[in-house]
Structure formats: structure tokens, C-alpha cells
Amino acid sequence: MLKNGKLASCVIRQIFSVKLIPTCRYISIEKNDKKNDKKNDKKIDINDQNNKSNINLNDLKIGKHFREMFHDGEERNFESHPFNRRFAYSKKSLFPIEPRNLRTLGLNRQRKKKRGRGDKCPGKGIRDKHKHRKSGKPNSRTFESGRTPLYRRLPKWPEAWLSRQKKQYEFLNLSKLRYFIEKGRLDTRFPITQRHLYDSKCVRVKNGVKLFNINDYPFPYKINIEVANADQSSIDTIKKVGGSITIIYMERVNLRAHIKPYKFEILPKTARPNLDAIHFLEKMRSRGCIVKYIKPLWLIEEEKRIINELTEIEECSKLSNNEYSFENKDSGKEDEQERRERLLQKYRLQNTKMSEDN
């Protein structure tokens, strides 16, 4: 007890740099004599013992929080800062009673015990069982009291299924295209592809873009646009100002690779169209569009056969009319592509006339 008081007084002197602090404590010792009822108080002065005992500086190093070596090399007592939470003393208890320390409600509540109720109707009646059955609702409109319903008796209509298999194009109005050009989202100096339309958020491309025009809306910009389909009004409007519409055949995978090429390590090959797609593309060519697709082998062979037949017919007609000349044979080689296109167009016109007559 005395030793602790002695050390505390030394620490207080060093902290507050006071030479002498009155720390007089008196201990009274009472001696009771049964014979003589006299009380003798013996008082012991502690100050005298403190002054006599010379305390070394090493005795002051009683803890890390009191004696520290600072950055300048000086060794002195550590004074706690009031804003340092580590050495701030609070009057709160070790575990204060606060809302954050209380347990949440409902932890100690007694939960309802789950009881088994059998396999028929678990204590809720037969009506509740029929209400939640999997086979169907008791009051459904198609229910015919156990008989085969009408929608199952009738045969399926194949045209309904076939209509759902057709490509549903994403429609793009010519007025919306003009709005995006005027806002600067599309550049008319370069060809506008379906990827440009998708990146500019002009239209969502899933199966292809179909361009259409309503009431011959004026379109003053000369553009070269590539789409999957277009109507006659938009074709005439764009060609009137000197532009062009290109119809490109793209399958689902090719179209996805065209719009998002970063998702493919190796770009897929362009697919060849089937017979129905070729009929559609050639119909768009006759309307005035530029058509691009890879011709299948059977179409290439068929065109060769048609061209050979038509050239033979023309030569025979020239020989019969004495119009055939052996001069300028090289001129025919130069215009071979034009002759080929002319003969194919002639063949198409013949077929269209025959179909109209029938």
C-alpha cells in the first residue's frame, strides 16, 4: 500500500513538474488497553520517508504508457492527448448498455413446431387440395368435365406454325433515319450498314432491318445504305436523290458476327441462300435494289445453261436472217458481262410473261 502511494506521488511530480506535493497521510494505530481505557494515536509521516529515500530515474519507467523515447531522442513522460481514442478515459462501463449491444427481437421467440398431417389433405380439407392440384383449375374455361377439350380435338393448323417461323424484320422508318442523320448520329459520307444502325441505337437488329416510307415522306440526303429488306416507296425516294439501297443476305450467325465481331475469335463464313431467299433477292433486284449474295452452285450451273441456250438461239436467228458477220469477234469478249446480263434479263421477262398468261 505504501509502495503504490510512493510511486504514484513520484509520477505526479514528474508529470506536473512540481517539486513538492503534499501527500501526507497519517496512519492511526489504536491500542486498547482493557485495564486503562486510554487511546494512543500513533501517526507516521510518509513525507519523511519520501524525502529520505532517493528514487532513481529507472524506477519511474514503470510502464510503456508513461515513459517514452521521442523522435528527437529525448526521453520523457508520455502525456495522453485528449483526442487520442487509445488513451482517452471514459466513465462508461466496459460493456455499456446501448441499443447496438442489445439482442435483436425475435431471436429467443419460440417457433411453431411443424407437425405432419398425413398424405391426403393436410388438415385443410378436400377443397384446398383441389385448389392447388397440378392437373388444372377446377373452374377453367377449357375444362369439359373430363372429356377431351375442344382445343385438343381440333387438328393443328400448319399455316399458323409456318407464319411464326418467318423472319420478323426490325422496321426502320425513313423519317427516323433522316432524324438521326440530322442529329449527327449517322454519317452520309460513308455507306451506312446495319452495324452503324445498331451502334447509333437507331434500331435494334435481331433478324435484319426493313426500310419503309409512309406517304412519300421527303428524304433529301444522298446515302448508300445496306439493309435486309425495303419497300418500293423508300427505294424510289432514295434513288430520286442519287442514293442506292443494297440488299445483303445474312443468316442469323452471319448477322450477329457483322454486328458484334468482337464476340468471335474466327468470323464465320457467309452462308448461301436457299431457293426461297433467291426468289426474294431477285425480286428486290427487279425493284431497283443492288443485291449481294453468294450464288449456290446449282444456280451458277443453271445460269450457264440458260446463257448457252439463248446464245445459240440468237446465233441461229442471225444466220437465218443473214445478219451474222465474222468481223469484230473481239468486241463480243469485251461486252461478255453485259451480254450475260441482257440474256438473263430476257429470260426473266419471258418467264414473267408466261406466268401472266397462265
Q: CA 254 to CA 257: how far, in whole Å?
A: 5
Tell me: do 252 and 186 sit in the same domain: yes
**Which residue(s) pair with 115 in the sheet?**
none
Q: Which pLDDT score, from 0 to 100, does residue 87 have?
A: 55
End position of a domain, from candidates 77, 108, 124: 77
Per-residue pLDDT for 61 more than 60?
no
Grid coordinates representing 353 are 410473261
Residue type, 242: G
Q: For strand 67-69 and strand 75-77, is the pairing parallel, antiparallel, or unpaired?
A: antiparallel
Residue type, 153: R
Q: Is the pTM of this model over 0.75?
A: no
Tell me: do 319 and 230 sit in the same domain: no
171 vs 45, residue with greater confidence = 171
The whole-chain average pLDDT of the chain stands at 75
Tell me: do 303 and 335 sit in the same domain: yes
Per-residue pLDDT for 175 more than 90?
yes
Tell me: do 227 and 327 sit in the same domain: no
Q: Which pLDDT score, from 0 to 100, does residue 115 have?
A: 74
For residue 343, tell me if it sits in a domain: yes
The DSSP code for 184 is T
Per-residue pLDDT for 326 more than 90?
no
For residue 165, tell me if it sits in a domain: no
End position of a domain, from candidates 77, 99, 125: 77
Tell me: do 226 and 200 sit in the same domain: yes
CATH number for 183: 3.100.10.10
Per-residue pLDDT for 69 more than 80?
no
Per-residue pLDDT for 184 more than 60?
yes
Tell me: do 56 and 71 sit in the same domain: yes
Q: Which pLDDT score, from 0 to 100, does residue 289 have?
A: 94
Place of cell 469478249: 333
Tell me: do 287 and 199 sit in the same domain: yes
Average confidence (pLDDT) over 213-234: 94
Average confidence (pLDDT) over 133-145: 69
Is the separation of the CB atoms in 220 and 238 below 8 Å?
no
For residue 102, tell me if it sits in a domain: no
pLDDT tens digits, residue range 9-57?
555 555 554 444 444 433 343 444 444 444 444 444 444 444 444 444 4
Picking from 46-55, 140-149, 252-261, 296-305, which range would have the lowest pLDDT averaged per residue? 46-55
Place of cell 369439359: 144
What confidence category does residue 177 fall into, taking pLDDT thresholds of 50, 70 and 90?
A: very high
Spatial neighbors of 82 by CB under 8 A, at least 6 apart, are 88
Q: Which pLDDT score, from 0 to 100, does residue 119 have?
A: 73
**Which residue(s) pair with 248 in the sheet?**
292
For residue 287, tell me if it sits in a domain: yes
Tell me: do 348 and 289 sit in the same domain: no
Is the separation of the CB atoms in 259 and 205 below 8 Å?
yes
Tell me: do 334 and 310 sit in the same domain: yes
Q: Which domain holds residue 61?
A: 2-77
How many structural domains comprise the chain?
3
What confidence category does residue 84 fall into, taking pLDDT thresholds of 50, 70 and 90?
A: low
Tell me: do 280 and 319 sit in the same domain: no
